[in-house]
């Protein structure tokens, strides 16, 4: 008896599976002509003070997602302090931070500072924003991903909509932004630095609040960073992540979480939450001349 159409389709799928050829990553050879060659030494005539300044110099233009928020805004300011030429703040509601963005522009008159309203789960909107940034500034050299959401819900009560929203913004959004920026960097042939904001939540379970979706989303960001760092190194694109602990921002304020704040402090050897400014050193390190051999 002749095989049915369903059986023929399954056989065809098996044949295709057996015949498939896997795509393979390409690594750089690291020589001076490659995108991963060693940095050019500082000129011999520069003194110690000049070398110190050059070590943490931030060059080019940056996109900061979630840049209107406390952590993203502090990081953006730090990049400007270390020499950033152009800053594009991407946020779902940048108008809420219009006053402080204007003040930032007045504080750094030699830099171009712009903002765009973008939903980072919309790949077309992200691609458009990256293209506009490159057109306005001339290049995109740095991406900081600070856009994210957090929710505390018992796993047994978690809805699929809440689960998907958290992963869509924190994980998929980070990937889509990195992908769009990487395409621009590859086209420029300049390389660049991408920094994700992961979390301690991606390494261990928080206590006392239940936040399974957030924890999973941040663990995925760490895996994402590792994968992209390997794939994109040959283009001179470094991909790293930071895993902040509890930071003293508006998200962690209010009498309703006073008990949780006390637990967080009690379980921390330093006995306190972090100040947003305490993340900026890591940001500058990963995006400056000092971080040229830091990847993944």
Place of tokens 């159409």: 5
Separation CA 80–CA 283 (nearest Å): 12
Residues 6+ apart with CB under 8 A from 113: 80, 86, 87, 89, 101, 104, 105
Measured CA distances, 37 to 59, 192, 232, 263 (Å): 18, 13, 14, 47
- 199 catalytic residue (yes or no): yes
Catalytic-labelled residue, pool 199, 241, 288, 289: 199
Catalytic-labelled residue, pool 139, 174, 201, 218: 218
Catalytic-labelled residue, pool 115, 139, 201, 214: 214
Separation CA 127–CA 125 (nearest Å): 6
Indicate the SS3 state at residue 274. strand
Token reading at 133: 């940034």
Place of tokens 């921390």: 268
- 218 catalytic residue (yes or no): yes
Secondary structure element (H or E) that encloses residue 126, with its range:
helix 123-137
Q: Which residues carry out catalysis?
A: 199, 214, 218
């Amino acid at each position: 008896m002749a095989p049915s159409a369903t059986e023929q389709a399954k056989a065809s799928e098996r044949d295709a599976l057996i015949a498939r050829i896997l795509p393979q990553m390409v690594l750089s050879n690291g020589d001076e002509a490659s995108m991963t060659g060693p940095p050019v030494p500082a000129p011999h005539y520069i003194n110690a003070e000049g070398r110190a300044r050059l070590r943490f110099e931030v060059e080019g233009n940056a996109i900061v997602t979630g840049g209107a928020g406390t952590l993203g805004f502090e990081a953006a300011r730090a990049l400007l302090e270390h020499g950033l030429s152009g800053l594009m703040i991407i946020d779902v509601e940048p108008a809420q931070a219009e006053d402080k963005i204007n003040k930032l522009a007045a504080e750094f008159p030699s830099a171009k500072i712009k903002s765009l309203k973008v939903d980072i789960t919309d790949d077309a909107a992200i691609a458009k924003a990256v293209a506009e940034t490159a057109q306005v500034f001339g290049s995109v050299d740095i991406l900081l991903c600070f856009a994210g959401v957090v929710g505390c819900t018992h796993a047994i009560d978690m809805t699929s909509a809440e689960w998907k929203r958290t992963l869509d913004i924190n994980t998929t959004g980070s990937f889509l932004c990195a992908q769009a920026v990487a395409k621009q960097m590859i086209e420029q042939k300049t390389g660049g630095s991408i920094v994700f904001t992961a979390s301690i939540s991606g390494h261990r379970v928080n206590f006392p609040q239940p936040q399974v979706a957030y924890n999973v989303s941040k663990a995925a960001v760490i895996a994402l960073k590792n994968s992209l760092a390997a794939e994109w190194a040959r283009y001179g694109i470094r991909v790293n992540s930071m895993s902040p602990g509890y930071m003293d921002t508006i998200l962690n304020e209010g009498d309703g979480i006073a008990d949780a704040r006390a637990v967080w402090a009690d379980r921390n050897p330093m006995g306190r939450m972090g100040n947003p400014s305490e993340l900026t050193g890591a940001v500058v390190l990963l995006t400056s001349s000092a971080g040229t051999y830091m990847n993944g």
